[in-house]
Structure 1
């Protein structure tokens, strides 16, 4: 009986302990048959408890064997480094169980635990295996979860399952899970070492949370090769940490590929290569400093030594991310500073990019913005409205738009600096409601944005979020410029056909004319005030502050400029310059009131009312009604007056029906501008200070136009 019991505990059934229920049903334990004689019910229950341990051990052993032998089945997780390490750790745990079985067999053979007459108490055997009665079933449950959802818990996703299981009241299970977590972190650290130190991406089983881009043509520059697989990032690692790991590895990988790529000659440049690839391959070789590699390697190796400390009893999901984040931040800062000093220099200097973005996205080139508004206004009427919106015309329309951008740049300072910039039409279903809210102003009924092809090396510094902020600012500023130009052009229309005043003025015609001129004046004053505030008080000031903050970082050894200052400004490192640039964008967004949840909607409505007003006046001018209202009046006879009021009764009312639309627009404009004034008056002090809103309020309310109405 004892030999049969030892065989069963080792995972092998026999004549006494058989699989239950019997074949063909699925067994779930080893048990003594019900017809087995000479056993007390208490003895049978105790032996069946031990048989259950043997059956669970057999299942765990079968699982480890299948993974070790590389047998791919639907019930076994996909093979890879992480699952192999997990199985190896599980085997070490099962070896402890086998060691206890062997020790029990030795004691039985040496008759150390006999109670007399060669009898070994079953209770003694159960007590010796007591810890396994809790641990093995818990491990079996863990393995079952792993087998039921192999894709969900594959690679780095195994961390989530292990940490969920480690939150247990069973101390033995917690220790086992922590051992597995520690071993899996070793695999992760090896991957991080290859990626962050040598720029090598080694992931044949799709386990790492960094992946190769499946569609490299969809992005530009170094972004085309690698990206984050966010569904693979373990829950205990923050997204910002994963992004830092991606940044360092991509930078090292890109520079390493430059080292391996020969410089192209002119014939190779004329081949079908993309522009961004030519840019990368034409860069001079940049050797990665060996001392930097060694320093980064030592930092990553220190993580292994930290985790071998047995005195560390903190939860792994707390201490491991903290230690890893400290190391990654040091490596990121070191890598970024090196790139900043070796890559973002010369023709690709950061100051050059910032200056060009200031002039393009923030409309520093005023003549380009005005020309673009003019050519777009001629393009959209009437050809644009007659076009059918289908896939075949979209490519053509994009080409037309970029041809307009080139046309607008002719004879301007930006004419030869449009590389990477393009106008794009964005479908409504591809953007969020709060994204690019002013993109439909430049071209009626069409969302148009200015974008930039983020290639190496500027995408080391700028993120896609930064580019989205620039696009949002451009959409707002070009919308404001469009309305300003449209209102300014009305002067020629309204002055057209004018003659010298005569004594016999028509009061009604004079009233209509005053209404139109008055509304145009109010609209143009509001638009000009907002435009001058944004350009002079917001963009110009904050841009100058940014330039002064980062200037010491570029002056280097040249300290002649610094000597003239009464104080020395500290040179910023790469990440501090990034933070300064992000703050610069946030200040401008606040100054343009784009960070407010309500102000953009009100401003959009105001600009739309202004455009509607311009459209009505242009239509009236085209119909000739405006010229008729300004035509020289002649003295009518009594008969002509009677005939006009009898035969043509009501014709005058229909002829001047457009004035009702103008009056409605005036009321709407007044209501919206009052609402806008109230909104910016109630902004927080932080927003007011950042956006210089006090100056805007004074400009809009210089004669108590709005505040006087509020307190009546």
Structure 2
């Protein structure tokens, strides 16, 4: 049947309301009634238009549900509400269009189908795309960051009216996001409605606790109530960036800078509040913070208007604009926070207190403290010992109280059962409470590291004081009243004490002058001049790390050796105190002194060898300075390198030409001291292992020179092929890059440049569920390691006399053994030292550690703007970085691990911002192939423009090209040198001519190599850069001309060498001897004897025979005459 109301029914359906002609189908779409009589083409056209009605109805339902009829559980997400508001605004033009068509229908009484189609044609792509977005938002319960990412991706690929609609949706959602960001940046607060979906979230992060509870002042500890952490500090540390909630287009550095700005705004606004009645000490007054806070408020007013304009303008804010605004706010916030801490809260006074006490800047205080504690330090600390009283006496004796001294307290963990006195007292630390906000810079972890520095420095000072006290007692008594045998028995002890004092004094001077003063001056300069809190925090962290490293707190083997030396020094001081008693049993007492002396020499030798292997004038100048102080005249190193007596000639095998002599390996250098408290297992008792070899080079032969010539020909052929292939690939790469750059500039050829955040599957997290480790990464790898002995070899060579008038090469190989974490098997059976310690099996150690101690790797597909990256691109994301998390096997957690202990660590290649140059395929990114066969698939971390990436690719191609050219040229030079080797051999028989011909051969080989290299390069570039090719050919011709002159001199030298006799004796010397004999009228026998003597003299001069052999042969010849 023909329905006259069809146009009206279609218009109502386009608005989402079906009727009798346009009905609602079972699948939720609109369709025409089955009994409606229409031409098939018209039916198909109308049903295609009715799809807009289906989309309109779905969008109306979504908008009504989110804006006018919310029935979801919990609060409504403001980002979804903004998305719905944007949909409502996008539907307004569509509804206006349908209303205009209805008015035309009422006025004219008819509405042509063609006019209807043309009127709604621009909505045919937009409404289905909007419906798809709405359904995805409803189905996935999508959050703020995924919604922004989704709309950003859609906006990047949409066209026409669809792009305008998506832009409108993105603007509405971005307004809500910018409102929350502005609130955080300006006030450090989260809006209740959008707090759950913002990328800055509160977490349960407790405030850092002090380094250790004081073991002294029990009365004070009982009187001080346990207070809760400061509220301001808790708020500062309770917020962090949650990466899964961060929009991908927002760089992580901008997010972290926004986190810092909000925290600084909160802190400085709180500092401007009126001071409370709470007690504030040491670092200035709270009211002093109003200066920086008032300046911050005035600065934030200007930023508030800027952010408001950015939020309210009818355009989408770019990431660059947001990042620039956050960057400017960050610069002001870090400057004002620096001003608040340094100028208003007295940070310089805190740094002075840290240097004065933790770094022993006030030496008189801790000198008095040690004088009071030295008697108690000879025994393990008693529970009743009051350390606080001793510190109070030392502080009171040094003058009036200074800032930050009121809360100073000594800390000493309880001694373990069976622990020695030294091991217990070396952990004596210091605690200093730091008020907020100064604890931002010197929090709990920093104070723990300062306490470790204090322990090390106080131990060195204690040992130095005890050694000097022993010297004072010696000088006080002198040698008067002692018999000559007693004086002789005491001299080794006082000599050893002097050596120990020299070592400890040099170490103390190094620590105080070369390390602490230099490092602290840099930190003080940064605190006074930087005017940037982040730069100040970085300088403080760098200084603290440098001090810890240069004081050997992180070098386990060095630390263990130092503690062993300190124990030996204290043991000698005890022996010095008991000298009168020990002299009654001189043999036993001398044995004890000798044992300490030998162990001291072993430990110092090891320490010198180990520090020398680590020292580098560029990388570690502090170690070079310490070695210079300890071994300025080379005595200790010489003693360590050649202990005991020197080997005599009888201990060596006869030296043949080209032979090797091995000398018995001496042992030196202990690897730790087994005494209690020495660090436990600092090494093995066998010491280092040294091998000495002597080599004398072989005399070249004609057969060897000919074989070298054949090898040189093959080398020339291979080098030429290498140069030719390299130039061909370089030409193809350069053509390919130019072609790719042209296609990208013209938008053709499929070359795509994309920048953004990599995105993984789901939330992007890879998880190791066995150990609750997770990371947003491309791949995550679990690495199993075992603590094993490792062999380290050091080799040195020098020329030494061979005892026969010549020289030979002495090769000294020293093998040392250190404990290290290893991720692979280390077979101790392959160690050079047969007495080296044994390693357990790597696999058995992992099995004993428990389940999960094995290597494993997880990965996931990664996309960039919804496009999956090929494997070749992901391999350019880097080798990965280590997560700051480790798990130790049971029994290996605390202190120094034992051999065979196992641990797990994790490496990952993090997701992040990248830039890619590749071909954009349907569902991914893959290499783009140029017409020359060159493949372009490039990934770089961070945001990079296409021009920068093309320039980087061209630079990498040029570096590879020139590197291969240099390698090919060196190989060609070596080949020509081998080919021309016989000429040098022939000329070597003539003493003077041999050197000249050798120089000419070298120059000729260099000339031929340069010419051949230039010719190959020129021929390869002949069709690409003719001008450059002609220049290279001209240079090749010049090289050939230079080589021609060398060839002429080589021919003259070869002719002279060919006419020279082959015997070893000099032809000139023999001829001179024969002429002399004839001139004197001697017989032919006399002439032969003279020639033979001349030959023997030449052999003696060249080191082929000894003087004794020459004299014997001479006497034999003279006896025949």
Q: Specify if TM > 0.5.
A: yes
- Give me the CA root mean square deviation: 5.6
- The 1-side partners of 2:164 and 2:423 are apart by 65
- The 1-side partners of 2:43 and 2:375 are apart by 93
Corresponding position: 1:225 with 2:231: no
**Residue among 632, 637, 651 paired with 1:702:** 632
- The 2-side partners of 1:522 and 1:411 are apart by 33
Deviation, structure 1 residue 325: 1.9
Deviation, structure 1 residue 136: 1.6
- The 2-side partners of 1:135 and 1:377 are apart by 85
Compared CA separation, residues 285 and 291, structure 1 to 2 (3 A) = closer
Deviations 1:95-118 (A, max 9, x none): 344334434544555569955xxx
Corresponding position: 1:418 with 2:405: yes
Specify the SS of the correspondent of 2:397. coil
Structure 1 unaligned regions, length at least 5: 22-28, 270-274, 388-396, 428-439, 552-571, 635-651
**Residue among 415, 435, 438 paired with 1:458:** 438
Deviations 1:187-226 (A, max 9, x none): 4555566566567765465255566786687643732334
Compared CA separation, residues 445 and 104, structure 1 to 2 (3 A) = farther
Residues paired across the two proteins, number: 598
**Residue among 139, 148, 161 paired with 2:140:** 148
Per the normalisation by structure 2, the TM-score is 0.44
**Residue among 121, 129, 136 paired with 2:123:** 129
Specify the SS of the correspondent of 1:702. coil
Aligned partner of 1:680 in structure 2 is 615
- The 2-side partners of 1:182 and 1:380 are apart by 75
Specify the SS of the correspondent of 1:139. helix
Corresponding position: 1:472 with 2:453: no
CA contact (8 A) 1:18 1:32 kept: yes
CA contact (8 A) 1:135 1:173 kept: yes
CA contact (8 A) 2:52 2:127 kept: yes
Compared CA separation, residues 133 and 79, structure 1 to 2 (3 A) = closer
User: Bigger CA drift: 498-507 or 214-223?
Assistant: 498-507
Aligned partner of 1:574 in structure 2 is 531
CA contact (8 A) 1:8 1:30 kept: no
Corresponding position: 1:362 with 2:368: no
Pairs within 5 Å for 1:111-510: 114-115=111-112, 119=113, 124=118, 127-133=121-127, 135-140=129-134, 142-144=136-138, 148-149=140-141, 153-154=143-144, 159-160=148-149, 162-163=151-152, 165-168=154-157, 175-176=164-165, 178-184=167-173, 186-187=175-176, 190-191=179-180, 202-203=191-192, 205-207=194-196, 219-220=229-230, 222-226=232-236, 227-231=238-242, 234=247, 236=250, 238-256=254-272, 258-259=273-274, 264=277, 283=287, 286=290, 293-305=297-309, 316-326=318-328, 328-329=329-330, 331-332=332-333, 335-336=336-337, 339=340, 344-345=343-344, 348-369=345-366, 378=376, 382=380, 409=395, 411-413=397-399, 417-419=404-406, 421=408, 444=424, 450=430, 452-459=432-439, 462-463=440-441, 468-469=445-446, 471-486=448-463, 488-489=465-466
- The 2-side partners of 1:209 and 1:149 are apart by 17
Deviation, structure 1 residue 349: 2.9
Deviations 1:285-339 (A, max 9, x none): 94888786455322331244356677x88x822332123322x145426744774
Compared CA separation, residues 628 and 681, structure 1 to 2 (3 A) = farther
Aligned partner of 1:646 in structure 2 is none
Deviations 1:474-519 (A, max 9, x none): 4235314314424653677899999976666899x989x76x974x
- The 1-side partners of 2:62 and 2:234 are apart by 40
Per the normalisation by structure 1, the TM-score is 0.64
CA contact (8 A) 1:209 1:233 kept: yes
Deviation, structure 1 residue 254: 0.7
- The 1-side partners of 2:268 and 2:16 are apart by 51
CA contact (8 A) 2:268 2:337 kept: no
Q: Which has a greater percent of strand?
A: 2
Compared CA separation, residues 338 and 538, structure 1 to 2 (3 A) = closer
**Residue among 542, 546, 567 paired with 1:586:** 542
Deviations 1:637-659 (A, max 9, x none): xxxxxxxxxxxxxxx99x97998
Deviations 1:344-381 (A, max 9, x none): 34xx4333222222213322122444567785995895
- The 2-side partners of 1:50 and 1:621 are apart by 107
Specify the SS of the correspondent of 1:229. strand
Compared CA separation, residues 184 and 681, structure 1 to 2 (3 A) = same
CA contact (8 A) 1:209 1:230 kept: yes
CA contact (8 A) 1:248 1:331 kept: no
Specify the SS of the correspondent of 2:72. coil
Compared CA separation, residues 679 and 67, structure 1 to 2 (3 A) = same
- The 1-side partners of 2:421 and 2:41 are apart by 86
CA contact (8 A) 1:43 1:122 kept: no
Deviation, structure 1 residue 703: 1.4
Aligned partner of 1:557 in structure 2 is none
Deviation, structure 1 residue 595: 11
- The 2-side partners of 1:426 and 1:141 are apart by 63
- The 1-side partners of 2:140 and 2:189 are apart by 33
CA contact (8 A) 2:381 2:424 kept: no
- The 2-side partners of 1:483 and 1:203 are apart by 56
Deviations 1:412-469 (A, max 9, x none): 4586643455667899xxxxxxxxxxxx99964997765554434535xx5357x745
CA contact (8 A) 2:258 2:326 kept: no
Aligned partner of 2:15 in structure 1 is 10
Specify the SS of the correspondent of 2:348. helix
- The 2-side partners of 1:89 and 1:550 are apart by 50
CA contact (8 A) 2:200 2:239 kept: yes
Corresponding position: 1:88 with 2:85: yes
Deviations 1:229-266 (A, max 9, x none): 3115555152442244124312342134x23x6x53xx
Aligned partner of 1:637 in structure 2 is none
Corresponding position: 1:65 with 2:64: yes
CA contact (8 A) 1:209 1:228 kept: no
CA contact (8 A) 2:30 2:54 kept: no
Deviations 1:20-72 (A, max 9, x none): 44xxxxxxx41549966657887776666555554444444444433335846
Deviations 1:590-622 (A, max 9, x none): 4664599x9734432333433564687799999
CA contact (8 A) 2:17 2:57 kept: yes
